[in-house]
């Protein structure tokens, strides 16, 4: 088809036929996706669209967290999904219990709630603009990126390439001036970290991966997400560390990600802002080394971050959230035993779910239109996921104009049929010519 387009002489004709070709290719990719995926999107129980009108925080139904995630599946696939869902429920309960003990006493303290109640208007006004540049400021500083040797458990390329750690002192300052002094006291978080795999012969298209909440070890993510397989396809890899995780975690914090949620509800906004800010500085670094194509994928909280980046950074070649969450408030409303505690705390502060969504909307991907065309967006989600329920992926999918979506018959942790979606991912990367 591309050869045919090259033979068309008139510009107007080329534009017309290019539109036809794109439509055909889009339908072809949709068919291929449904073949690759064991769970077709048409099997999802919610046949109706539940994408809310803007502002989404008011029009999304308050009972969204209660929406069932039912799929019309054959017996084998249903057993694969439901059989793994129990693992998610157990892990979710453990994580919620840990967060309830360690984080909520500080987040929902009367003093913290009073401060957040007063400061919420600052963020709500920025969210009301639906303009990501108002909150996600583009970095203007130049940073010195240090290189460090990788650890013994980290991936070691066997083709003459290298694996190393990268770091720089983050110049990020909170968007809200009232938060800067307290945020700056979190000294370990001021150093940004990433792991970089390079073939070494020349700058290559680079896949950036963002880990999930509490799941920051590089060795774990590289194997869990089959990143060596993508490296062997010819791509360089960057594993990005979110704020308050990994080496950015203070020594006495009980778990990675503790700092995300232990300093008040509004602190979450600034943590996401820094996650985006520091990631863009790593993009600057990659471009300075000659890398011309950069894409991002992420899992869970990393999927959320990669979806936000799609609304902020037009230099990205693609965004591919994997089992993403979309609305943090609605997610917490599903997690026991943290749900009743969150509801009680918000009620004490005089904040309903619409207000809570509005307060966090400034860093939510639903608030902004993506800067990337739908052809460069892809979502991967598990039909049996109980940590980041499928309705979150479905909501993002509709917000992204029903882009490419791959369902797998597993949960948040066990990605059954992973080989199928890895092939689908590889096919997607070839389709957008990321491999060239």
Among 289, 350, 292, 301, residue whose Cα is nearest residue 327: 301
> What is residue 59's predicted lDDT score, i.e. its pLDDT?
93
Give the separation between CA 414 and CA 422, rounded to whole angstroms.
14
Contact 255, 215 (CB under 8 A): no
Domain co-membership, 28 together with 64: no
Domain co-membership, 261 together with 369: yes
**Residue 209 in 3-state DSSP?**
strand
Note down pLDDT in tens along the chain; length 436 residues: 444 344 444 444 444 434 443 444 444 444 434 444 667 677 776 555 667 789 999 999 999 999 888 777 777 777 776 777 777 778 778 877 777 777 666 676 777 777 777 888 999 999 999 999 999 999 999 999 999 999 888 999 988 899 999 999 999 999 999 999 999 999 999 999 999 999 989 999 999 999 999 889 999 999 888 999 999 999 999 999 999 999 999 998 888 888 888 888 888 999 999 999 999 999 999 999 999 999 999 999 999 999 999 999 999 999 999 999 999 999 988 888 878 878 877 787 778 999 999 999 999 999 999 999 999 999 999 988 888 999 999 999 999 999 999 998 888 888 878 888 899 999 999 999 999 8
Domain co-membership, 231 together with 265: yes
Domain co-membership, 24 together with 103: no
Give the count of domains, the chain: 2
Sheet strands side by side (includes 146-149): 146-149, 162-169, 191-198, 236-240, 206-210, 294-299, 319-322, 378-382, 404-408
Rounded to the nearest 5°, which phi and psi values hold at 167? -150, 155
Domain co-membership, 369 together with 417: yes
Q: Is residue 349 part of a domain?
A: yes
Among 209, 219, 197, 227, residue whose Cα is nearest residue 418: 227
Q: Is residue 261 part of a domain?
A: yes
**If DSSP states are collapsed to H, E and C, what string results for 219-249?**
HHHHHHCCHHHHHHCCCEEEEECCCCCHHHC
The DSSP secondary-structure symbol of 136 reads S
Q: Is residue 118 part of a domain?
A: yes
The secondary element (H helix, E strand) that includes residue 168 is: strand 162-169
327-341 in b/e form (b: 16+ CB < 10 A) is bbbbbbbbbeebbeb
Domain co-membership, 16 together with 87: no
CATH number for the domain spanning 374: value is: 3.40.50.1820
Residues in the chain: 436
- CA 399 remoteness from chain centre: 15
Contact 251, 187 (CB under 8 A): no
Domain co-membership, 129 together with 159: yes
Q: Is residue 436 part of a domain?
A: no
> What is residue 48's predicted lDDT score, i.e. its pLDDT?
55
Q: Domain range spanning residue 8? A: 2-35
**Position of tokens 């088809």?**
1
Contact 193, 256 (CB under 8 A): no
Domain co-membership, 135 together with 283: yes
Sign, CA torsion 305/306/309/311: negative
Q: Is residue 68 part of a domain?
A: yes
Question: Who contacts 219 (Cβ-Cβ below 8 Å, separation ≥6)?
Answer: 151, 153, 154, 155
Is residue 419 reached through a cis peptide bond, with omega within 30 degrees of 0 on the bond before it? no
Domain co-membership, 6 together with 107: no
> What is residue 31's predicted lDDT score, i.e. its pLDDT?
44
Q: Model's pTM, two decimal places?
A: 0.89
Domain co-membership, 30 together with 77: no
Give the separation between CA 138 and CA 307, rounded to whole angstroms.
17
Contact 225, 235 (CB under 8 A): no
Domain co-membership, 25 together with 50: no
> What is residue 104's predicted lDDT score, i.e. its pLDDT?
65
Domain co-membership, 14 together with 130: no
């Amino acid at each position: 088809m591309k050869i045919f387009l090259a033979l068309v002489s008139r510009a107007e004709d080329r534009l017309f036929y290019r539109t036809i070709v794109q439509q055909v290719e889009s339908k072809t990719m949709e068919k291929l996706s449904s073949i690759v995926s064991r769970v077709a999107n048409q099997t999802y129980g919610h046949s109706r669209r539940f994408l809310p009108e803007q502002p989404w925080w008011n029009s999304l139904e308050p009972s969204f967290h209660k929406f069932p995630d039912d799929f019309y599946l054959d017996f084998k696939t249903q057993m694969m999904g439901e059989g793994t869902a129990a693992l998610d429920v157990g892990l979710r309960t453990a994580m919620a219990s840990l967060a309830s003990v360690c984080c909520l006493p500080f987040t929902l303290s009367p003093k913290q709630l009073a401060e957040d109640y007063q400061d919420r208007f600052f963020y709500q006004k920025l969210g009301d603009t639906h303009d990501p540049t108002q909150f996600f400021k583009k970095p203007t500083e130049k940073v010195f990126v240090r290189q460090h040797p990788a650890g013994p458990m980290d991936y070691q390329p066997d083709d003459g390439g290298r694996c190393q750690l990268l770091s720089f002192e983050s110049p990020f300052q909170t968007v809200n001036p009232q938060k800067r002094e307290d945020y700056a006291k979190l000294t370990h978080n001021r150093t940004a970290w990433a792991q970089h795999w390079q073939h070494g012969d020349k700058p290559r298209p680079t896949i950036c991966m963002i880990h999930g909440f509490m799941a920051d070890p590089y060795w774990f993510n590289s194997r869990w997400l089959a990143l060596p397989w993508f490296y062997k396809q010819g791509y360089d890899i960057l594993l990005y560390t979110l704020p308050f995780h990994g080496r950015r975690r203070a020594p006495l914090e009980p778990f990675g990600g503790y700092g995300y949620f232990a300093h008040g509800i509004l602190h979450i906004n600034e943590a996401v802002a820094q996650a985006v800010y520091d990631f863009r500085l790593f993009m600057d670094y990659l471009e300075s080394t000659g890398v011309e194509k950069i894409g991002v994928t992420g899992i869970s909280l990393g999927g959320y971050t990669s979806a936000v980046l799609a609304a902020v950074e037009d230099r990205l070649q693609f965004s591919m959230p994997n089992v993403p969450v979309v609305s943090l408030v609605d997610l917490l409303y599903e997690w026991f035993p943290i749900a009743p505690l969150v509801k009680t705390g918000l009620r004490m502060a005089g904040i309903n779910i619409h207000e809570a969504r509005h307060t966090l909307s400034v860093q939510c991907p639903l608030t902004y239109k993506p800067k990337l065309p739908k052809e460069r967006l892809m979502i991967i989600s598990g039909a049996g996921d109980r940590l980041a329920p499928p309705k979150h992926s479905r909501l993002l999918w509709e917000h992204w104009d029903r882009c490419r979506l791959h369902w797998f018959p597993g949960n948040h942790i066990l990605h059954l049929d992973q080989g199928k979606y890895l092939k689908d991912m590889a096919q997607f990367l070839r389709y957008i010519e990321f491999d060239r």
